[in-house]
Amino acid sequence: MDVSAFAVPGAGRGILDVVKYRYLLRLLIRKGIITRYHGSVLGWVWSYVKPAAQFAVFYVVMGLFLNLTKGIESYPIYLFSGIVVVNLFNEAFGNATRSIVSNKALVKKIYLPRELFPIADVFIALVHFLPQLSILLVVCLFVGWVPTPLGLLGALLAVFIVAVLATGLGLLFGAINVAYRDAQNVVELILLFATWTSPVLYSWTMVRDQAPTWLFDIYMANPLTSAVELFHTAFWFPTTSETAERPESLWLFTLIGLVIAVLCLIAGQLVFRRLEGRFAQDL
């Protein structure tokens, strides 16, 4: 009997299968968006309230109490343009880590590419990122922001880097989290440090002036650092007198950050494929 036309049950091509099962991906994304604020009175308003509250706390503490409003021109825009990038990473990475466990009923009953779940959560995070981006755009336009093609291209590249990085780490920790729920706590620690290890609340020049050269290079190689600085270049810098310092090798560090994000994606996929055979059993 010729069985060459049949596929081995449970075998797939990993992330590549997401394209084949894109209809299921759309269903998961739609389900996640609809159920996000199910039963909530304010609904999608929370997508505006949460970043606004976060911005207010950071602005009062860092901007007013620590006087960063005097050291960084247009500090409110500087702050918020960084917050939206880190929020995208935090939501995408955090939700992707919990995605397999959250969908254990489907994982245990039917076969479908398990990568669909973390990738769907990354797309859902991108959808919830749009209200925050719209606020940033409105404020920037109000103060006379004039976009540049290179700046907008950099912003798109920043979103791509964050999405790839969050997907890779989400696959890695999402797979580990099935057997060891401690992974969620590790991820929470990573997310706690994410805001402080990139130039969101402060200027990158503070790190350059205080840290050793080798440590500064590591800091700038962080994909989140380059993503935040690309957003600053696109949205904050045009609203200033354009005399503020910009990282001299930003595009080089952006390339390094992109390579790191892709390597994280490859590593995450390899670990995910190695562990997914035990998902149903461990759940």
pLDDT surpasses 90 at 258: yes
211: number of Cβ within 10 Å = 13
In-domain check, residue 198: yes
pLDDT surpasses 90 at 252: yes
Which residue shows structure tokens 């350059």? 208
Position 1 scores a pLDDT of: 54
User: At 165, is the pLDDT very low, low, confident or very high (cuts 50, 70, 90)?
Assistant: very high
**Mean confidence (pLDDT) of the chain:** 85
In-domain check, residue 34: no
pLDDT surpasses 70 at 43: no
Position 41 scores a pLDDT of: 55
Name the token pair of 163: 């999405």
In-domain check, residue 12: no
pLDDT digits (tens, 9 = 90+) for 48-68: 777 777 778 877 877 777 777
Instruction: Give how many domains the chain has, as a whole number.
Output: 1
pLDDT surpasses 90 at 152: yes
Greater confidence (280 vs 177) lies with 177
Position 101 scores a pLDDT of: 85
The whole domain housing 134 covers 44-282
In-domain check, residue 3: no
Alpha-carbon Rg for the chain in angstroms:
20
In-domain check, residue 231: yes
pLDDT surpasses 90 at 164: yes
Position 42 scores a pLDDT of: 59
In-domain check, residue 36: no
14-47 b/e with 16+ CB inside 10 Å = b? ebebbeebeebbeebbeebeeeeeeeeeeeeebb
pTM for the predicted model, two decimal places: 0.89
The DSSP code for 8 is P
pLDDT digits (tens, 9 = 90+) for 71-93: 788 888 999 999 999 999 999 99
User: At 220, is the pLDDT very low, low, confident or very high (cuts 50, 70, 90)?
Assistant: very high
pLDDT surpasses 60 at 150: yes
In-domain check, residue 148: yes
Greater confidence (104 vs 237) lies with 237
In-domain check, residue 27: no
